[in-house]
Structures are given as C-alpha cells and as structure tokens.
Structure 1
C-alpha cells in the first residue's frame, strides 16, 4: 500500500502549531528560570511561528488560478514569502539570540529551577523532531531517484525546505540547550548558559543564509537539475517519429511547478495533422512521466547542419 503523500499545507501548519507551543512553554520557563538558553529557545520558536505564518500565506497565494495579468499563475509568489521568512530567521531571532547569549556570557546571571528547563527542552525536542520528519518525508517523496543531499539542494519545494531548515534548527537547538544546561548543572558556571544561547543564535543565522541563497536562485529563474532534464529528453525522444531533442529550456514557476520549452527534430515526410498530433503526444507523455512539469511548449525545428545543406 502506497504511503499517503505529505502536502505542503500539512508541513507548514504542523511546523506553525509546534512553534506556538514552543514559544508559550519556553517563554514561560525562561521567565521562571532566568536561562538565556530558554530565552533563545523561545526566540527560535517565535521565528518558527512567524516564518510558518508567512509561508502559509505564501502557499495559499501561490495557488491562485492564472489570470490575464499572470498567465502562468502565481506560483513564484511563494519564493518571495520564503525570502521574507529567511530574513526573519536571520535578523529577527538569530541576532537576538546571539546578543542575549553574549550578555549572559559577559555578565552571568543565576539560573534557577533547572529541572523545569530540562522537561520543556525534552518536550520541544520531540515535537520539533516530528515536524522535521514531515518535511523530510515530503522532500523524499518529491526527489525521484536522486540522492538525499541532491534532492535537498535542487528541490523547488521552497516552503518545505524552509520548514525543513526551521525544524532541523529547532531539533538541533534543543539538543544544544540540553547540553549547555547539563554542563551548567555539572559546573555551576552560568556563562555556559550564555554560550548555549550564542550557539543557538549562530545556528539559526547559518541556516537562514543557506535558505536565502537557495531562494535567490529560484527568484532569478533556476531551471531543473540534470537528472530531471535528462528524464524529459529521454521521454520526449522515446515518442514515435521524434528523431531527437535539439534544445531544452526549463524554469521553475513555483514550488514543484516547472516550465518546459522543447525544440524537437521530427522524421521527414510527416503531414501537418500528424505533426500536430505528435506535439500533443509529446506534451502528454512528458507531463505524465515528470509530474512536476506544469507548463510545456514544444517547437518543431530543423538541425543547423541540415539547414546548411539546403
């Protein structure tokens, strides 16, 4: 039995709900304990929540139907909202965590009720790990036969990649927090609490930069990777009466929405009706074989070497 496909809406909503719990619990515990690690956890959860809301808006807006002004639809709008999410991650919470951690490191304040912090960190680790697993599964389901790192690098599922980064940060941050507070419990040195806050902030900033750089390529107009491009060419050339694909151009119009322009060389002696039916067959065959193809245009061309012989 095939596993149920994880939707983009489910991934984003789950990450947002987890973030709401993180902010509430960690902010309360940060006040009770005075721990900078817990404050950083609350800021990280706040970043996740704000980012989740922004991404949810982006996903919904990107699914609007094409109109006369946006004839290819609004799919690329999700890239804009994901960019805003990356900026929030970097400046709004990453820098803040580093600042508060630095203040605790140079001017240590006492940390109380450490056991309460451990309980909440363990709970946060479990919820973030579950949310992370959904993002991981959605990326795996869309990756075809490509390796895991290649899927992560080349996938256009930017809203899922954003939540993947956020949830991996959340899981990593709770791990860092547990280690930092465990060392504090063993040594009694409050500066370790500050060092944990700095480490969490730096982790958020690094992940945000990776996300922003990835979004930049999609906004500029990144196309499909070599594996997908090779698959499109092979499928098109497998159609009867197609000699070869002369050129292929692709560009992502949104999350997992690929624009494809094919130049094909056909066998000689075909009449107009046959060529028209053949073009429709190529479009249908490629779309079925590569589900991410959202819009496809097929152009019939003659190779340059044959033109020179005329």
Structure 2
C-alpha cells in the first residue's frame, strides 16, 4: 500500500489464491464426500474473507489525520486484524470441528480419492507461492531476524496475518492429505473426520496467535529496543544535551511511530540555543528513523531533575 503500511501484494495474491482454491476444494468435497476436504474449503473461504477485511483495514488506515483523530487512522488496521482472528476462530475452527465430529460419528467411505489428491496438490503449490510472497515482505521489514521472532516483532498485520494463515493452510493441506490417504490405506474412513478436527485445532491456534498480536498492537506497542537506544544515542550526541531520559514510543501503524523524549540540556550561558538544539535533534532522529513521524521533546534545565 502507501507508505503507511507497506505493500498489499501479499494480501492480494493470497486473496485470489484462496478464492480459487476454495471453489476447487468444495467441488472435490461434493464429488468424494470428504469431511477433511470440506473443512479445507471452509478454511479457504474464511481466509478469503479475512484477506478482504485486511484490505479494507489497509484502505481505511490511509485516511489522513483530522480533528477527532489527530494521530491518523493507522490503528484501524489492527482492529480489522483482530476481527480476522475472531472469524478464523469462530467460523473456521468451529465449523471444522463440527464437520469432523459429524464424520467421526458417521464415517463416509471415499471410493475415489483422486480428486482430493489433485486438488490438495494444486492448493499446496498455490499456497506455497502466496506464502513466499508474504515471507519476502516480512524479510524486507525484519531483515535476518529468525522467522518466529520476526513474525512476533512485525507491526504490519497485512504481512503477519497472511503468513500465519498461509502457514496454517499448508499444515491443513498436509493433515487433509494424511486423513484421506491413511483412511484409504487402512480402511478407516473415520480418519477423514479426525483430520477435519485437527484442521479445526490448527485454525483455532492460529486465530489465538493473531488475536494476541492484534490485542498488543491495539493497546499500543513500543518501538524495538534497537530503535529506542539509537534515538537515545542520537540525542545524547548533541553538544547541548546533558542527559536523555524516559524515551517513550508507540506504534500507530507499521510505519508510524510516536516518540516522546525527555532531554536535560546544559546550562544556557548564551552559547546554547535550546530551540535550535531541539530542532537539530528532531531532524537527526527523523533522518535515522523515517518511521518516527511525531516527536515531542520535554526540555529540562540542568538542575530541574534534581528538584
């Protein structure tokens, strides 16, 4: 997207992929009667809806600041990502559980699983391609940070939501394949229903992860410690600064950070222009960290903190 929240390429690719895959999964389920395939179809429908909601959040988060929201609408994307988690848990996980339990109680023998294998194979290739695109977006923002740490550190729901859902999708496809294959191999059609229940568990776990991440962002997460220490070092390097204290930061979007910085200046003996020093510090911080859009500096004299 625009500069506020990164590119929506990963979201668009995942949306198109899931829409096409959902249709093929439901067709395969209708032909073969597979519960696991039906659950995978539900999974893809939920993912498609969720990506549409993320795109809605991306669009609405671009709205410029106004009198009621002077810091902009960046956090609206975090709200929609929380809605995504609720839908994934309630609709995706719940319906997969229901379908799985129904087929465990009343197993359906799959006479010709060929359709299932073909659809699952195609779906895995398409989901993998969408996952790779989202992974590249994550790497652009997080560099060489280990995958799970980078996923937790990401402040962009358009990236971590797609990655989490695509990871769940690929795991679900493997489970569905095993359910159908082992059910045929062992003559135990009940395994198809068990696979559907396992898919439901996967969806609920991913939904819980997304809800936790979205909640933290809605409450307000600080910038990473590397950024905070860099800001402190930049301010302390100015000749007019005696001490830097209480650096407070908060993300309003993945690329919009608020900074409040306490600065204790040296005594004003006519050689130090405090106003110029503040502007100098703000300029240096924004050059080093373009994502820090708003800076508030609390200026203190050399003796004020001691009082």
TM-score normalised by length of structure 2? 0.92
Does residue 1:199 correspond to 2:183, yes or no? Answer: no
Q: Distance in 2 between matches of 1:29 and 1:112?
A: 12
Shift in alpha-carbon separation, 1:270–1:148, aligned structure 2, 3 A: farther
Does residue 1:179 correspond to 2:183, yes or no? Answer: no
Q: What is the match of residue 3 of structure 1?
A: none
Q: What secondary structure, in the 3-state scheme, does the structure 1 residue paired with 2:306 have?
A: helix
Q: Distance in 1 between matches of 2:221 and 2:305?
A: 32
Q: Distance in 1 between matches of 2:81 and 2:175?
A: 26
Q: What is the match of residue 56 of structure 2?
A: 57
Does residue 1:95 correspond to 2:94, yes or no? Answer: yes
Shift in alpha-carbon separation, 1:276–1:143, aligned structure 2, 3 A: same
Q: What is the match of residue 290 of structure 1?
A: 289
Q: Which moved more, 1:219-228 or 1:33-42?
A: 219-228
Shift in alpha-carbon separation, 1:79–1:303, aligned structure 2, 3 A: farther
Q: Distance in 2 between matches of 1:287 and 1:302?
A: 24
Q: Distance in 1 between matches of 2:270 and 2:9?
A: 49
Q: What is the deviation of 1:79?
A: 1.0
Equivalences for residues 14-163 of structure 1 within 5 A:
14-144=13-143, 146-163=145-162
Q: Distance in 1 between matches of 2:233 and 2:104?
A: 59
Q: What is the match of residue 248 of structure 2?
A: 249
Does residue 1:210 correspond to 2:209, yes or no? Answer: yes
Q: Write out per-residue CA displacement over residues 89-127 of structure 1, whole angstroms, 9 at most, x where no aligned residue.
A: 000111100110111112101213311111111111111
Q: What is the match of residue 278 of structure 1?
A: 277
Q: Is the 8 A contact 1:146 1:227 kept in 2?
A: no
Shift in alpha-carbon separation, 1:291–1:270, aligned structure 2, 3 A: farther
Q: What is the deviation of 1:304?
A: 6.5
- The size of the alignment, in residue pairs, is 303
Q: Is the 8 A contact 1:23 1:42 kept in 2?
A: yes
Q: Write out per-residue CA displacement over residues 275-310 of structure 1, whole angstroms, 9 at most, x where no aligned residue.
A: 2222222222222222332322222124677634xx
Q: Is the 8 A contact 1:242 1:266 kept in 2?
A: yes
Q: Distance in 2 between matches of 1:78 and 1:279?
A: 32
Does residue 1:300 correspond to 2:299, yes or no? Answer: yes
| Root mean square deviation of aligned Cα | 2.1
Q: Distance in 2 between matches of 1:111 and 1:133?
A: 33
Q: What is the deviation of 1:47?
A: 0.8
TM-score normalised by length of structure 1? 0.91
Q: What secondary structure, in the 3-state scheme, does the structure 1 residue paired with 2:223 have?
A: coil
Q: Distance in 2 between matches of 1:172 and 1:235?
A: 45
Q: What is the deviation of 1:138?
A: 1.7
Q: What secondary structure, in the 3-state scheme, does the structure 2 residue paired with 1:133 have?
A: helix
Which ranges of structure 1 fall in alignment gaps of 5 or more residues? 1-5
Q: What is the match of residue 167 of structure 1?
A: 166
Q: Is the 8 A contact 1:76 1:255 kept in 2?
A: no
Shift in alpha-carbon separation, 1:146–1:270, aligned structure 2, 3 A: farther
Which ranges of structure 2 fall in alignment gaps of 5 or more residues? none
